[in-house]
């Protein structure tokens, strides 16, 4: 990806003058455990692009590496921190909370850690939500449960009242765990803090089960979501092959980006059609989805279809859009729509089918994180603590080119990562499923996309 970033400098509240209490064991006393700010990770590692930047005398954009620093800004003995989780549920939220608390407590000796209940609404006095005292004993076993022990909510809250609350509580580091809406709110909180000339650090931990946060290579919970989505696909495949003209239809998460659908289809290669928001498709016509599905059934007698929730929204353009509490347009249910259209199409043909519709979305969102996400959450959370203790602010901890890095909030907020229809991921999906282009204005031959025949490469 060609970077358009011009500024990746991380803001700080002031000079870090206090020696860090973070130590290695005596057996590793000579090992360097501190990360200098000078160590960077290139944003764009494309050789040709880098050479062009050097030729033009430009310095390639790079991110600061995450990790503990030798000196910190805040005095741990007098520090108060707060943690808030916002937006939809996602595997790993409790792991994040737990790792923040354990690192603050045992790594730095911080005694006062507050959990804000029910998202940003927990800062607003009129809701009268209690504050949770986050101690090691409180978080000891929470990683075995799904959801978030702090609760969550959607919707905008008054930024001034949020900062008022931080001031009243004498909070010096705020950890915000959420998606794009939370990042946008966090930047506004930072603006208000700067306006009041306060010494409060705001560190974001990106949360999106869809894996669509811009400039973040991987988000926590995504691996768990893919793992559970493959189980749903296996179920759909079993149902499909056990009945004549069986069709297994699975709807997965993915409002604007189809990463879960694409990865799950590659992980469980029993899928014949993958529908994602980034790639247009038609229902009717010789190259449309319904005709392609008919061809598949006539040839093999069964089919599995995976649709991301944001796919095919053009079919609802005549209907009035509604918004949720966070201001997001409420998506129309593509799963139920496809179920109805598939049934209608084959009914008019007098062709009997056996259609099974599976929507595992809420089961996936509320599930505990798997082992890989457990580990990933620990790294994210602990690096967030290191950043906050050093006085860094207005940043999120991201994962880029296999490194944990500090990403300026402004570089990610309001932007979205999406599947490249001409990239390797989508080409791999086409190769695995055998599906052709199903849009009249973008029809590609089998040779154009180097995939198998339209009836699918797999059972």
Confidence of residue 24 (pLDDT cuts 50, 70, 90): low
Looking at residue 285, the DSSP 8-state letter turns out to be S
Which whole number is the average pLDDT over 119-124? 97
Q: What is the pLDDT of residue 58?
A: 73
pLDDT at 6: 54
What pLDDT is attached to residue 2? 45
Place of tokens 């890095």: 405
Residue 126: pLDDT band (50, 70, 90) is: very high
Identify the CATH homologous superfamily for domain 223-366+420-449: Phosphofructokinase domain (3.40.50.460)
Q: Give the domain ranges of the chain.
A: 11-220+369-412, 223-366+420-449
Q: Which helix (H) or strand (E) holds 92?
A: none
What average pLDDT does the structure give for the chain?
Answer: 90
What is the assigned CATH class of domain 11-220+369-412? alpha beta
Q: What percentage of the chain has pLDDT greater than the value 70?
A: 89
Which residues, in sequence order, are CB contacts of 65 under 8 Å at separation 6+?
35, 39, 40, 41, 403, 404, 405, 406
Of 39, 44, 95, 210, the active-site residue reads: 210
Q: Which burial class, exposed, middle or buried, applies to 198 when counting CB atoms under 10 A from its CB (0-12, 13-18, 19+)? A: middle
Least confident of 16-30, 223-237, 263-277, 436-450: 436-450
pLDDT at position 16 over 90: yes
pLDDT at 241 over 70: yes
pLDDT band at 51 (very low <50, low <70, confident <90, very high): confident
- How far, in Å, CA of 134 to CA of 82, rounded? 9
Average pLDDT, stretch 20-46? 74
List, for residues 433-454, the tens digit of each pLDDT value.
Answer: 999 989 876 544 333 333 333 3
DSSP 100-147: HHHIIIIIH---EEEEETTGGGGG-GGG-PPEEE--HHHHTTGGGSSS
* Closest C-alpha among 169, 177, 124 to residue 152: 177
pTM, two decimals, is: 0.90
324 is catalytic: no
Same fold flag, 11-220+369-412 and 223-366+420-449: yes
Cα separation, 345 vs 265, whole angstroms: 25
Q: Please say if the pLDDT value at position 275 is more than 50.
A: yes
- Checking if the pLDDT of 328 tops 80, the result is no
Residues 332-381: pLDDT tens digits? 999 999 999 999 999 999 999 999 999 999 999 999 999 999 999 999 99
Confidence label for 422 from pLDDT (cuts 50, 70 and 90): very high
Please give the average per-residue pLDDT across 146-167, as a whole number.
96
List pLDDT tens digits, range 246-266. Answer: 999 999 999 999 999 999 999
The whole-number pLDDT of residue 413 equals 85
- Give residue for tokens 């879960």: 260
Percent of the chain with pLDDT over 90: 81
Check residue 324 and give its pLDDT.
Answer: 61
Tokens of 166: 């931080």
Q: Give the model's pLDDT for residue 71.
A: 96
């Amino acid at each position: 990806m060609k970077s358009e970033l011009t500024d990746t400098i991380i803001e700080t509240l002031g000079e870090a003058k206090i020696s860090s209490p973070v130590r290695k064991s005596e057996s590793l006393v000579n090992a360097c455990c501190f990360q200098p700010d000078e160590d960077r990770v290139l944003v764009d590692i494309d050789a040709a692009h880098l050479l062009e930047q050097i030729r033009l005398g430009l310095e390639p954009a790079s991110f600061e590496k995450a990790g503990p620093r030798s000196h910190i800004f805040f005095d741990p003995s007098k520090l108060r921190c707060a943690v808030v989780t916002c937006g939809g549920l996602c595997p790993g939220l409790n792991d994040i909370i737990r790792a923040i608390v354990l690192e603050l407590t045992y790594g730095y000796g911080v005694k006062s850690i507050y959990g804000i209940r029910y998202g940003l609404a927990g800062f607003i006095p009129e809701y009268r939500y209690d504050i949770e005292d986050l101690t090691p004993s409180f978080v000891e076993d929470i990683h075995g449960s799904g959801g978030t022990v702090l609760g969550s909510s959607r919707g905008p809250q008054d930024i001034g009242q949020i900062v008022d609350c931080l001031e009243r509580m004498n909070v010096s580091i705020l950890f915000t765990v959420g998606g794009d809406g939370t990042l946008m709110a966090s930047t506004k909180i930072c603006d208000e803090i700067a306006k009041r000339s306060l010494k409060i650090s705001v560190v974001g931990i990106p949360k999106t089960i869809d894996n669509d946060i811009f400039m973040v290579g991987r988000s926590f919970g995504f691996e768990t979501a893919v793992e559970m989505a493959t189980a749903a696909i296996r179920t759909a495949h079993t149902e499909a092959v056990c009945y004549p003209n069986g069709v297994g239809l699975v709807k997965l998460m993915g409002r604007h980006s189809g990463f879960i659908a694409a990865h799950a289809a590659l992980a469980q290669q029993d899928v014949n059609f993958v529908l994602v928001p980034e790639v247009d498709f038609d229902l009717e016509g010789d190259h449309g989805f319904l005709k392609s599905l008919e061809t598949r059934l006539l040839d093999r007698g069964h089919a599995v279809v995976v649709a991301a929730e944001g796919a095919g929204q053009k079919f609802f353009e005549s209907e009035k859009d509604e918004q949720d509490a966070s201001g997001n347009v409420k998506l129309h249910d593509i799963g139920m729509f496809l179920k109805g259209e598939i049934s209608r199409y084959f009914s008019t043909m007098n062709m009997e089918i056996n259609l099974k519709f599976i929507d595992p979305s809420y089961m996936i969102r509320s599930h505990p994180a798997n082992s890989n996400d457990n580990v990933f959450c620990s790294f994210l959370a602990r690096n967030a603590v290191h950043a906050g203790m050093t006085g860094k602010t207005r940043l999120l901890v991201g994962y880029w080119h296999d490194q944990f890095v500090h990403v300026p909030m402004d570089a990610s907020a309001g932007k979205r990562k999406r599947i490249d229809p001409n990239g390797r991921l989508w080409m791999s999906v086409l190769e695995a499923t055998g599906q052709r282009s199903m849009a009249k204005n973008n029809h590609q031959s089998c040779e154009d996309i180097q995939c198998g025949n339209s009836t699918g490469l797999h059972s």
